[in-house]
Each structure stands twice: as structure tokens, then as C-alpha cells.
């Protein structure tokens, strides 16, 4: 492996992803707003950079894993950004979850500098990032996708080219709809059963074996029952994603009535100061509406 990969954004998701790339033998140049994760990666064999521009100058492929659309635009196109360090052959892979329209805009701006771009948001949470089992949905051209595929294979169990730039973010928006609605459904089921006097742990056990089985029950069901809302993916981030979903639905004239209701549940959680909880902490909203605590 000869590529040097630049990695920007070393949070809950980005840090373990960067570690997995190091373990796979890639040379890594890293940058982050806070210094501690950079020092951790440097101790593991990475090289530190002081700006996105420097990352671009020193890398063949740059990956970002950032919180929101404005962060991506700033890192990619802002002062001292990737665009200022662009060079022939550079590939930019944004694995953040952002608005599809922003992904297209960034790709078009960087293309003028000769940079090929992929939007490649992920699903699988912190566990998937740690274990290298993320699901990666990609927007871009086939040639660039094929070139980056070995990197995706380190980070995830599947990577699918969904269409041109922006398509990856569109599919991620669809993913976030389904996950949010599923969390709400699981929460309602647990609270209903608990208020009727059934042990929520038994509900998780039974539902996990039938048609109702799903990733939320499999990966988070027991933790929901135990009241363990240590964040793998925070409520405030899923709330941000649902804002993207609703804007995208308006852009394309697609009504999302169920998503709108769940979005209001996330708004309630945010208003209650629970934005830093795992997104399955939405359960607490249903508990309060029912006047009980569904957990054992």
C-alpha cells in the first residue's frame, strides 16, 4: 500500500476509523480541532498536520468525518482549506453526513481544481467504526470509487456506489429516516409493554426473534432496557440529520408525515437538554409522556 491518507475529524467515529487505517498499513496524516485525538493517533504512527491545506498537500486521498454541512464547506473550501492544498491526482472522500446539495456544491468546486470527490456517509455507529463493519453509501464516479474501494474495505463491511455526487448523502438521508422511525417504534413498544406490567427485557428478547427484529433491537435493545444511553450516535446529531432529511424532502416535494412526527420527538429531547445522549435516549421522551420509566 503506497497511498498516504489524510484524515480530518477524529471524533467518536473518525478516531477508530483512523486507527483501523493505520492497522491496515496505510500512512496517515491527521488533523482535528482539538489536539488530544491527534496526539493519540501520532502515538500510534500517524503524522500530525496543522490545517486542512497541509493535509491535502501531503496526501493522495483525504477523508473527512465532520459534524455538519458548514463544517465540511469550511474544511474543504474555506481559508487554509483543502482547496488551497489541492494537487493533481488528489481524491477527496467526505464520510460525514451532510445535505446532498452541499455535497454536490463541494464536489463541483473541487473539480475545478482537478480534485475527484466522493460523498461516502456511513451507517453502523461507533461499534461499526471500531470493528470496521460500517455500511458505506457512496456518490461519485465509478473509476474513483474503484480506486478508493480498498480503503472502504478496511472501514466497512459493504460499500455501494449509489450514483453521482450527492447520491450517497441522499441514501444516508433515507437511512436516517428509517433508523429514527425504528427507534421511536421500539421506544413505544417498550413503554407500552412496561406500563402493562411486562419486563422490558423479555420484550426485547421476544421481538428480536420475530418479524420485528431490527438493528436497533439487536445493537441497542438491552442498553435501552438498562438505561444506558452512552452515546454511539448522539441525539443532537440525529436531530441535525432529520433537519437535512426534511429540507431534502422539501427540495423534492416528498411528504414525510411519520418522519415529521419523529422529528418533533427529537425536538422534545433536544429541548429537555438530552442532545448528548445516544439517539436511543428518545425512549425517555416516550417514558415521560406515559408517566413511567420503562427500564428495569
DSSP state at residue 78: S
Catalytic residue among 172, 195, 202, 230: 172
68, 243 Cβ separation under 8 angstroms? no
33, 41 Cβ separation under 8 angstroms? no
Of 278, 16, 11, the C-alpha closest to 129 is 16
Question: What is the rounded distance in angstroms from the CA atom of residue 186 to the CA atom of residue 184?
Answer: 6
Active site residue 172: yes
DSSP code per residue over 186-238 = HHHHHHHHHHTT--HHHHHHHHTTSTT--HHHHHHHHHHHHT----SSBHHHH
Q: Which residues are catalytic?
A: 172
Amino acid at each position: 500500500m503506497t497511498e498516504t491518507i489524510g484524515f480530518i475529524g477524529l471524533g467518536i467515529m473518525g478516531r477508530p476509523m483512523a486507527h483501523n487505517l493505520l492497522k491496515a498499513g496505510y500512512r496517515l496524516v491527521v488533523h482535528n480541532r482539538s489536539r488530544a485525538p491527534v496526539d493519540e493517533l501520532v502515538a500510534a504512527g500517524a503524522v500530525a498536520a496543522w490545517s486542512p491545506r497541509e493535509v491535502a498537500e501531503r496526501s493522495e486521498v483525504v477523508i473527512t468525518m465532520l459534524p455538519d454541512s458548514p463544517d465540511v464547506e469550511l474544511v474543504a473550501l474555506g481559508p487554509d482549506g483543502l482547496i488551497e492544498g489541492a494537487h493533481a491526482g488528489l481524491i477527496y472522500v467526505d464520510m460525514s453526513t451532510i445535505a446532498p446539495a452541499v455535497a454536490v456544491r463541494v464536489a463541483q468546486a473541487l473539480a475545478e481544481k482537478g480534485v475527484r470527490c466522493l460523498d461516502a456517509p456511513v451507517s453502523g455507529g461507533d461499534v461499526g467504526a471500531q470493528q470496521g463493519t460500517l455500511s458505506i453509501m457512496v456518490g461519485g464516479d465509478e473509476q474513483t470509487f474503484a480506486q478508493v474501494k480498498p480503503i472502504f474495505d478496511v472501514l466497512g463491511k459493504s460499500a455501494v456506489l449509489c450514483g453521482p455526487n450527492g447520491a450517497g448523502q441522499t441514501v444516508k438521508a433515507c437511512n436516517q429516516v428509517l433508523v429514527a422511525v425504528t427507534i421511536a417504534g421500539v421506544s413505544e413498544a417498550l413503554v407500552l409493554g412496561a406500563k402493562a406490567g411486562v419486563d422490558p427485557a423479555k420484550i426485547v428478547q421476544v421481538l428480536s426473534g420475530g418479524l420485528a427484529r431490527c438493528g436497533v433491537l439487536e445493537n441497542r435493545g438491552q442498553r435501552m432496557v438498562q438505561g444506558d444511553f452512552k452515546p454511539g450516535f448522539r441525539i443532537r446529531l440525529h436531530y441535525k440529520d432529520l433537519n437535512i432529511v426534511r429540507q431534502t424532502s422539501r427540495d423534492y416535494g416528498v411528504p414525510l408525515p411519520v418522519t415529521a412526527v419523529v422529528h418533533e420527538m427529537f425536538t422534545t429531547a433536544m429541548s429537555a437538554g438530552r442532545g448528548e445522549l445516544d439517539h436511543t435516549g428518545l425512549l425517555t421522551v416516550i417514558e415521560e409522556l406515559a408517566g413511567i420509566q420503562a427500564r428495569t
